[in-house]
Amino acid sequence: GLGILFTVIPETIVIFGLVIAFILMFAF
């Protein structure tokens, strides 16, 4: 239900943020 939704979305945001951080680190 919504409980799963509220636990999955923050995890995807954190993972997405880590991926962007790694891309920026390797880009510069």
Domain ranges (residues) in the chain:
1-28
* pLDDT above 70 (res 1): no
Degrees (nearest 5) of the Cα angle 14, 24, 26?
115
- Specify the length of the chain in residues: 28
Give the Cα separation of 17 and 4 in Å (integer). Answer: 20
Q: 24: pLDDT confidence band, cut at 50, 70 and 90? A: very high
What's the whole-model pTM score? 0.55
* Cβ density class 5-20: b for 16+ within 10 Å, e for less: eeeeeeeeeeeeeeee
Q: Confidence band (pLDDT; 50, 70, 90) for 19?
A: very high
